[in-house]
Structure 1
């Protein structure tokens, strides 16, 4: 895919089957006036899938579907991806697994969750062609805040616990 094309372009072979689920979740996240607490884990999974595909495809603009415009979180993920690209590291596969979600609070415009997740799969290709599976992370506990923006629900804060 030409890196200048919009991230969700469906020209050529740019669309993956994963996008069907992701687009459904993102549509749900954008249409909810206030999320039902049982929908928040699916929304979180959708955000994780978008992040994974952004890293796998090298498309920094995809992070705009996850974070609010100009947020530090958006800039952090975009810079992390740029650093991999500068070093000639391609992320071939990245999977986060959500192990536990506890909804602390949910209103019409804001939700707070305690999340335990884990990087369960990561494979990279180095500039010399070497492919490496990276070790699995230990489970990480975080508090996530989601905020309803003009473009839909976005992850607005992440704090390690």
Structure 2
């Protein structure tokens, strides 16, 4: 775990205690930053900081990262941008948000050292559910709209 993960964890703790209107987008941004770094560094264990233990989302991201590694593909850069969000439901242990986000940068290095920028994503609307676990807030569900 390096400085970005530590920074994101600190920001997550501040976000949860910050103003209500800023809280949940900041939590999601922090989780996205941890996920991006895990992909960039090929550290699938760090994805446990993003998703609940044993979740399908965690299993899928770990499998995706393993598939890149098995083909000799390294992710050099991956950045998600949260364009907009609206909290639709809040309880002490669960938050549901209607978000629009976009993969704004993705760069890979192939096994022959060729570097490629991947096509940029279009803004995508999703319903994202955050759940408070014993280890903090995690992304527990994502449904594309």
What TM-score, normalized to structure 2?
Answer: 0.93
Alignment of 1:59-74 (within 5 A): 59-74=43-58
The gaps in structure 2 that reach 5 residues or longer are: none
User: Once superposed, what is the RMSD of the aligned Cα atoms?
Assistant: 1.7
Q: Higher helix proportion, which one?
A: 2
Q: Higher strand proportion, which one?
A: 2
What TM-score, normalized to structure 1?
Answer: 0.84
C-alpha displacement of 1:21: 2.9
Equivalent residue of 2:52, what SS? coil
C-alpha displacement of 1:135: 1.1
* Equivalent residue, structure 2, for 1:137: 121
* Equivalent residue, structure 2, for 1:21: 7
Moved over 4 A (4+): none
C-alpha displacement of 1:23: 2.3
The gaps in structure 1 that reach 5 residues or longer are: 1-7, 9-14
Alignment of 1:1-161 (within 5 A): 8=1, 15-16=2-3, 18-28=4-14, 32=16, 36-161=20-145
